[in-house]
Amino acid sequence: MLIDSADPSRVLLEIADLDGDHELVLRYGASLRRIVTWAREYLCRPHEALGRKGPVCPYAQTALDRGTFYLGVHPGRPDGPGAVTALAGYRDWFPRLVSPPGVSPQYRTILVLFPDLPEAEAAAVIDHAQAALKSRYVAGGLMIGEFYPGPPPKAGLWNPDFRPLGSPVPLLAIRHMVPTDFPFLRDDPEQVASYLARFGDRPPAALRAEVRAVAARYGLLAGVGATAAEGA
């Protein structure tokens, strides 16, 4: 179990803690275990509708295996602004977490559950919080994603008919940004600028033409390195 030194009320549970007697486990153990099972049986496995080979999430299995898969809980029924407030502090805490020796930070994952949030309210609350927080998280080199029953209407990258963000408990997921995240950021110039500041000199080959085109549209070509600019 991890406790944020900046706010001791902010707690992250590790998988082993789910066998313990922390008050969050005693109260929300069923929801926490349900999400761990979902991660193992959905995120860590291929899906016929995904549109590519490999598991739904390329990082979840390693996070689970290497001890960098953390669970937070926000009790109660917040509205959208309340969920924003609940998640704001994780942005600053995330970079201060220390991964086990030999484990890349890119496998660090936090899932913040909202187990008391009724399914009928989940879309409005979680979508609002994700949209409000995303640019701040991206500016810090992080991604924040929305998951809830439904599922959310966002299409998969490789199959537009697939809706990959469904989960049995409403939650927001936090992880490090990686070079392949550009398609999730391309519609917002502020987020594109944050991406280019980190990966503009080395976007994945398959994305270089798109990165250059989007950067040109937003007047951000100065952030595109020579390799991407040349399409090499």
pLDDT of residue 84: 92
Asked if 9 and 2 touch (Cβ cutoff 8 Å), the reply is no
Answer whether the bond into residue 179 is a cis peptide, omega within 30°. Answer: no
- Using alpha carbons, select from 70, 54, 143 the residue that is nearest to residue 109: 70
Using CB atoms within 10 A of its CB, is residue 170 exposed (0-12), middle (13-18) or buried (19+)? buried
Model pLDDT for residues 125-183, shown as the tens digit of each residue: 999 999 999 999 999 999 999 999 988 888 888 888 889 999 999 999 999 999 999 99
Model pLDDT for residues 84-124, shown as the tens digit of each residue: 988 989 999 999 998 788 888 888 999 999 999 999 999 99
Place of tokens 């550009």: 182
